[in-house]
Amino acid sequence: MRTLRQAAAALLAAGAMITATASPGQADAVPCDQWCQTAWEQQRANALPRTGFYDPPTPLRWAPAGTLIRKEAATGYAVPATRTLYHSRDSGGRDVAASAVVLVPQGTPPSGGWPVVVDAHGASGIGRDCAPSLMRDLYHGDQMRRFLDKGYAVVAPDYAGLGAAGQHALGDKTAVANDVIGALRSARRSVPALSYRWVLWGHSQGGAAALSVAERQLDRPEPGYLGAVVTSPAADLTQIVTHAATQPGLGGFVPLIAAGAKAADDRVRLDRVLTPQALAALEVTRTGCLGVVAAVYRELTGPDLVQPGYLAEPGFARFLTRNTTGVRPVAGPVLLLQGDADSVVTRAMTDQVAATLCRTGSRVDYRTYPGLEHDTYPGVVTGIDDGAMPDILAWTAERFGGEQAATTCS
């Protein structure tokens, strides 16, 4: 899923490892080779302490989605930031707490406030310590900095269950759309210098989240929305799981999505989805983030990873189908970007998303890029967000400038 700003390196066995967050000693909980040990070391080096700020009140008294619970000036990042804890909703409508960070450019805001880019991040893991706001590099803060340098504020939700207490239902499109909108609302309450106008940017898991938000905008519009940048979206979860289960090095995505399905629907039978060997390693996801999970599962594929008929497990099948995006009309415009060399979300998958969205009447500008991978692995390959960033920034500027967006739909 998104991911994985530095996380898919291990998944792709490209020779680079990733950054995330973790708990000391967890490496001993499951068999952990040198890849795994290195992933733990890098995770810990990038980790910020999870303080009581992330613990919501108990009980959590109901409040409208986006209501601010608390905020604090955050340190430890390369840029000044404000952390927020706010009320969100899970896919069942239950009140849950979620965390986010808000970054603003240096200097005096323009009249009307800083224009806002909301960053829907890719898969980082499912444990509390896997929140991007608990990573020194904010998971992909270098890309956020490109927006800051252009005069945009960035609102970056962690998603419920990452950072704040609870379970992260990775892949649940309704829950993550709620988190994105709640983060935006709470950001405006915590940083008054933000403009009401906003553009959404999402990659991989976050790309699917962005499409979910764009679907929602047709029914329950959030004011000020100008469009979405969607890169390599993990839109069709059945395709994603099927692909990951058969590709060496990508197996870690399968238990993460399966665990996300279980978090959303307790009726999901994980023992009918994952093999005993894969189930035994699932404990690592409690504290190990994507890099660690990728390393632990990198040798598992096919029948060593998943049970025969795993896609027919009723709860899992329902979750995958219900949370597929890119099949309904979306509020536009949408800039949809895909790297030809992407080995996590393949071009064929995103070609299908583009064609389907065009058939729904959505306004989509679909662009593909030779040689770009899912993410950047320094010294190895360049990912879609980094490689296409000039186009992303130009398109974003056009939206705030009031220009009409182009479409590749005939």
For residue 107, the enclosing domain spans 1-401
What is the C-alpha separation between 234 and 240, in angstroms, rounded? 7
What is the C-alpha separation between 107 and 151, in angstroms, rounded? 9
What is the C-alpha separation between 177 and 361, in angstroms, rounded? 22
Q: What pLDDT does 346 receive?
A: 97
Q: Is the dihedral of CA 41, 203, 324, 200 positive or negative?
A: positive
DSSP for residue 274: B
What is the C-alpha separation between 324 and 254, in angstroms, rounded? 15
Residue of 212, 202, 230, 194 whose CA lies nearest to 365: 230
Question: pLDDT 10s per residue in the chain (410 long)?
Answer: 433 334 434 333 333 333 333 334 443 456 788 889 999 999 999 999 999 999 999 999 999 999 999 999 998 998 889 999 999 999 999 999 999 999 999 999 999 999 999 999 999 999 999 999 999 999 989 999 999 999 999 999 999 999 999 999 999 999 999 999 999 999 999 999 999 999 999 999 999 999 999 999 999 999 999 999 999 999 999 999 999 999 999 999 999 999 999 999 999 999 999 999 999 999 999 999 999 999 999 999 999 999 999 999 999 999 999 999 999 999 989 999 999 999 999 999 999 999 999 999 999 999 999 999 999 988 889 999 999 999 999 999 999 999 999 999 98
From residue 90, how far is each of 130, 140, 176, 304, 396 by CA, in Å? 18, 25, 8, 33, 29
Q: Are 85 and 56 in contact (CB under 8 A)?
A: yes
- In DSSP terms, 128 is beta-bridged to none
Give the CA count within 13 Å in the CB-facing half-sphere of 168.
32
Inside any domain, residue 206? yes
Beta strand 95-103 pairing with 153-157: antiparallel
Q: What pLDDT does 389 receive?
A: 98
Alpha carbon dihedral 59, 64, 65, 71, in 10-degree steps, equals -70
Token pair for residue 229? Answer: 């940048």
Q: Are 366 and 408 in contact (CB under 8 A)?
A: yes
From residue 205, how far is each of 45, 79, 129, 169, 380 by CA, in Å? 24, 25, 18, 12, 23
Cβ neighbours of 77 (radius 10 Å): 18
CATH code, domain with 320: 3.40.50.1820
Token pair for residue 30? Answer: 């499951």
What is the C-alpha separation between 223 and 99, in angstroms, rounded? 22
Cβ neighbours of 326 (radius 10 Å): 29
Inside any domain, residue 59? yes
What is the C-alpha separation between 388 and 391, in angstroms, rounded? 5
Inside any domain, residue 346? yes
What is the C-alpha separation between 220 and 231, in angstroms, rounded? 24
DSSP for residue 151: T
pTM over 0.85: yes
For residue 321, what is the enclosing H or E element?
helix 314-322
Amino acid at residue number 120: A
What is the C-alpha separation between 58 and 76, in angstroms, rounded? 28
Cα angle, residue 365 at apex, residues 363 and 370 outer, rounded to 5°: 155
What is the C-alpha separation between 12 and 266, in angstroms, rounded? 31
Q: How many domains does the chain have?
A: 1
Residue of 201, 323, 186, 326 whose CA lies nearest to 263: 323
| DSSP codes, 340-394 | TT-SSS-HHHHHHHHHHHHHTT--EEEEEETT-BSS-BTTTB-BHHHHTHHHHHH
Exposure class string for 334-367: b at 16+ Cβ within 10 A, else e: bbbbbbebbbbbbeebbebbbebbbeeebbbbbe
Beta strand 95-103 pairing with 81-89: antiparallel
